[in-house]
Amino acid sequence: MAAGRPRAFDIEQALQSALEVFRKKGYEGASLTDLTEAMKINRSSFYATFGSKENLFHQALDVYMNQGPIQASLAALQEPTAYLVIEKLLHANADSVVDPNHSPGCLTVKAALTGSKETDPIQQLLTDLRVQIEQALTTRLQQARVDGDLPEHIDPVALSRYVATLIAGMSIQAVNGASRAELEDMINIVLSTLSPIHH
């Protein structure tokens, strides 16, 4: 191949296509054939560009991290009250897991629910990511307590774990076919139980 000749495919587009396969099938469920067909490249181009399926997943995850779902979650943490943080977080995740442009569910949940010894590093990466988001929420709720915005009897760690569990559950419900309206009904029940922290 002549030096400087552009690749015959768009890497960004290829990563988006790979990301969609991972969102649909999880890490382990996505075969090399699934990936190369979706990315419209042959195996030699795949290996020359990405090296391995694991490297590809890391690059696709970087793309995912800079897209809507994660960014909306981070934005939710900036809301002025604990109640609004949780409300915005639940709505942002509901929007994400039933986004008509993508397969239902959340990449970090779906890709982590199935795994084997060979996928341990990927499992750990996704577990760490979910834990980091939960810890960021805990930190925000601890600040809410300092600010007098979270009642003393509510444990910020337990509340964060509760919200993280709901978010993972919404992903599974979306995979099961739940609509955005059905997730909204669930969110309304959750928010009604949090009325003591709503000022």
Rounded to 10 degrees, what is the CA torsion of 99, 102, 105, 106? -100
Q: How far apart are CA 42 and CA 193, in angstroms?
A: 53
Q: Which tens digits make up the pLDDT trace of 107-157?
A: 777 666 665 666 678 888 888 888 898 999 999 999 999 999 998 899 999
Q: What is the DSSP letter of 117?
A: G
- Please provide residue 173's backbone torsions phi and psi, each rounded to the nearest 5 degrees: -60, -40
pLDDT in tens, 30-58: 999 999 999 999 999 999 999 999 999 99
Task: Kindly report the pTM of this predicted structure.
Answer: 0.82
Q: Which pLDDT does position 74 carry in this prediction?
A: 87
What sign does the dihedral 147-150-154-156 (CA atoms) show? negative
Question: CA-to-CA distance for 64 and 15, rounded, in angstroms?
Answer: 10
What pLDDT is recorded for position 64? 85
